[in-house]
Amino acid sequence: MITPEMFTRGTNKKPDFTIEKFCMEKQDKSKFHAVYELKKQGGEYLDRALGQAANAISQLSDVDDGWIEMFVIAQGGVEIGFFEFLSYTDMMEDAAITHFKSCVPLTYLHKDLLFENDEAKSAIEQLSAYLPDTVMPLLCGHPGRKSTESFADADGIDTRCVFNLATHKDEIDFLFHYIATHNPRKMKD
């Protein structure tokens, strides 16, 4: 189920699209599976879209076990990034897992992030191993923000996870298909 401009309960923040997935294990109910946040080209940045999505997701209160695992697709102009929101922030920091506001790049591999099965793990490992050099890391506040002098001064995520809609069509298509057919990773206990 895709719901455009759905308000997140308890907040004014709203992702541009919320995707729910039917779950047999939740007594035939749906659960949030992914959000897609878009920002216009010219003055808006991918990190702002990702931050807005993360803030909206963190407001969710109707989760079964208190943990939230959800895919996040953030787009700023022609740049698009694929992430997983994992509400285990303290555990991720203890394990030195790279994240931005609890969002881990889908292309980031770490021994404490567990895939739902070997096929899902293999798919992301292969994609990550063969990413084109033109896939960029998430640089917060770049380009064009006056507070950042150069790429070296930008905060963000070192993992290459920002794709260009014009030059990375195959990789983007692969990641959309992956999100449609898999569940987000979970933290190792």
Q: What is the average per-residue pLDDT within 165-178?
A: 94
Considering only 16-25, 85-94, 162-171, which range has the smallest mean pLDDT?
16-25
Closest alpha carbon to 58 in 140, 66, 2: 66
More confident residue, 154 or 56: 56
Mean pLDDT of the chain: 77
Closest alpha carbon to 33 in 71, 4, 65: 71
The pLDDT of residue 111 is: 93
3-class SS letters over the chain: CEEECCCCCCCCCCCCEEEEEEEHHHCCEEEEEEEEEEECCCCCCHHHHHHHHHHHHHCCCCCCCCCCEEEEEEEECCEEEEEEEECCHHHHHHCCCCCECCEEECCCCCCCEECCCHHHHHHHHHHHHCCCCCCEEEEECCCCCCCCCCHHHCEEEEEEEEEECCCCHHHHHHHHHHHHHCCCCEECC
Inform me whether the pLDDT recorded for 149 exceeds 90: no
Considering only 25-29, 34-38, 164-168, which range has the smallest mean pLDDT?
25-29
| Model pTM score | 0.80
Q: Give tens-digit pLDDT for 38-57.
A: 877 644 578 888 888 888 88
The vertex-18 CA angle with 12 and 24, nearest 5°, equals: 125
Inform me whether the pLDDT recorded for 139 exceeds 70: yes
CB 2 within 8 A of CB 14: no
More confident residue, 30 or 87: 87
Inform me whether the pLDDT recorded for 76 exceeds 80: yes
Q: What is the average per-residue pLDDT within 27-35?
A: 67
